[in-house]
Structure 1
Amino acid sequence: MDTATIILIIGAAAALIWHVVATIMIYDNLRKRGEKVSFILLRLFSTGYAARYRELTRKETGQTGPLFFHYVFSINAVLLFIVLAVIVRGF
């Protein structure tokens, strides 16, 4: 493996950790607001929880909460890093 591929894989891993942290923070935020959320089913319902977080923050402040953007951007960063690593490696 060349250096560029390793750097891209490390970037993907970092973005994945960022995504997991953002997901857990959304879960915690919803739980503190009294919403019914399940930590055990977090992986299955994370997209729904993010949508609910977005809806609640829009109702409260008129704007989407920052955790939603962390959630969306981080998973897209993971995808981008992986695609770039595959391209650099040469399929």
Structure 2
Amino acid sequence: MTLSHCIALSLILCGIGLFGMMTRRNLLGIMLSVEVILNGANINFAAFAHFKAADPVAGAIFPIFVMAVSACEIAVALAIILSMYRRKKRLDVYRLEELNG
């Protein structure tokens, strides 16, 4: 496996995530698509650290940081989603206008 293979895999994952974000109407589906995009970025960070860095272990810091931020984002987003579902009984982003304004 070469660096170009890892970059291609990262690009494919980011494309799938972007497509999922644009086509999903459900908040949970949008959140999963964002996670796919972040995983593509993690693969990119790890690949460049493995193939180009003098110390490959130092490149593992970025994916760990991204995973920590992602876990915090998921916790906050799930709290918002549960709150909105309890109030409106739906998760369709086009019908939820409570956050506007």
Q: Same fold (TM over 0.5)?
A: no
More helix per residue: 1
Query: Is the radius of gyration larger for structure 1 or structure 2?
Result: 2
TM-score bin, normalised by smaller chain:
0.3 to 0.5
TM-score (norm 1): 0.39
Relative contact order, CA 8 A, sep 6+: which one is greater?
1
